[in-house]
């Protein structure tokens, strides 16, 4: 038995429609599933570059909306991405890109307060 990759990450939200609109319109994610699941809904999205998907969850009592942080997404031209997200009304925590040994980044949050790190792709990771 071999574990291979992360497939889906659950993001706790209060309103799946609002969150799906944010992730598709502001971040460019693609909606890949929106299916009834009993009295719940399975809303799954994939980021523009592929990789692990996210599902917008409302049903885990231990995962309050906005309780996840440290999610990292890579991007090209991190400074331009920061400016675009800020211009679109996304809550961005820095005035400018921060530099660290692992690369340039900034942090932002979704409408529920889930915390993301946008990190510039480097040749080793691209």
Domains of the chain: 8-59+66-120 (3.10.180.10)
User: Is pLDDT at 79 greater than 80 in this prediction?
Assistant: yes
47-75 mean pLDDT? 96
Residue 85 neighbours by CB distance under 10 Å: 19
| Contact (Cβ atoms closer than 8 angstroms) between residue 73 and residue 28 | no
- Distance (Å, rounded) from C-alpha 65 to C-alpha 103? 29
pLDDT at 81: 97
pLDDT tens digits for range 29-39: 999 999 999 99
Q: HSE on the CB side for 81, CA within 13 Å?
A: 19
Tokens of 89: 């009304």
pTM score: 0.92
Tokens of 59: 């049903």
């Amino acid at each position: 038995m071999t574990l291979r990759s992360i497939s889906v990450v659950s993001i706790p939200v209060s309103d799946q429609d609002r969150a799906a609109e944010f992730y598709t319109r502001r971040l460019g994610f693609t909606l890949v599933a929106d299916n009834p699941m009993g009295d719940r809904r399975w809303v799954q999205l994939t980021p523009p570059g592929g990789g692990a998907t996210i599902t917008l969850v409302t049903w885990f009592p231990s995962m309050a909306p906005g309780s996840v942080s440290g999610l990292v997404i890579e991007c090209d031209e991190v400074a331009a991405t920061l400016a675009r997200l800020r211009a679109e009304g996304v809550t961005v925590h820095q005035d400018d890109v921060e530099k660290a040994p692992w690369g340039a980044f900034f942090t932002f949050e979704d409408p529920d307060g889930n915390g993301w790190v946008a990190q510039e792709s480097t040749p080793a990771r691209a």
